[in-house]
Amino acid sequence: MRIYIPGTWPMLRKLVKTGRFDPIGGTAFALTPRLREAYVSGDDEELEYAAMGEAARASLRLLAVEFGLGEDQVPSRRVVVAADLDDVTLRPDLDDGAVRITGAVPMTAIAAVHVDTEEAEHAVREAAAVVDKADLGDLDAEFLVGEAEDHELAWYSPEEIAFLVDLGDL
């Protein structure tokens, strides 16, 4: 199953060092039966994109924690790791596309990494500061989150991840 795991730049750095991606709490997103039911129409590609969008919003939540800890050196970029795994458990108690995985994801299972470009950093930093309020229905906060979500994530192959991290850390 193709899954989308929310992450942050420090998590990408660790992936490059260890060859494994450690998801926070084992949470990921995928095209689940419940996600499929939530949409009136859409082919698999469109619904996979929706699952990736849920992971990107979860990445904002992870960034909010890092920024709250005073991690000013963390690039304000959402990170989503796409991987192919067989051992995935559905999480109907969370979002429509939420799944749980156990353990770290080896580099061999990673299909791609999706990351915001530099142009998105201001919007992402503002969105991370209010994502919880947006989840609770605050319209101003939802507008700021929407501004960040208007930025498309760039796609990188697994072979490009080390170069991406090196360039981003300059």
Tokens of 23: 């998801």
How confident is the model over 140-148, as a mean pLDDT? 96
pLDDT digits (tens, 9 = 90+) for 23-48: 998 999 999 878 888 887 778 888 88
Q: What is the pLDDT of residue 71?
A: 59
Res 83: pLDDT = 97
pLDDT at position 59 over 60? yes
The pLDDT score that the predictor gives to residue 170 is 40
pTM more than 0.85: yes
In angstroms, the CA 91 to CA 77 distance is: 26
Biggest alpha carbon–alpha carbon distance for the chain: 45
Q: DSSP letters along the chain, please? A: -EEEEEE-HHHHHHHHHHSEE--GGGEEEE--HHHHHH-SS--HHHHHHHHHHHHHHHHHHHHHHHHHTT-TTS-S--EEEEEE-S-EEE-TTS-TTEEEE-SPEEGGGEEEEEE--GGGHHHHHHHHHHHHHHHTT-HHHHHHHHHHHTSPPEEE-GGGHHHHHHHHT-
Query: Residue written as tokens 């960034």?
Result: 63
Digit-coded pLDDT (tens) for 149-169: 999 999 999 999 999 988 865
More confident residue, 129 or 33: 129
Q: 82-120, pLDDT tens digit by residue?
A: 999 988 988 877 778 899 999 999 999 999 999 999 999
Distance CA 46, CA 52 (A): 10
Residue 52 confidence (pLDDT) above 90: yes
Pairing type for strands 79-84 and 105-106 reads: unpaired
pLDDT of residue 169: 57
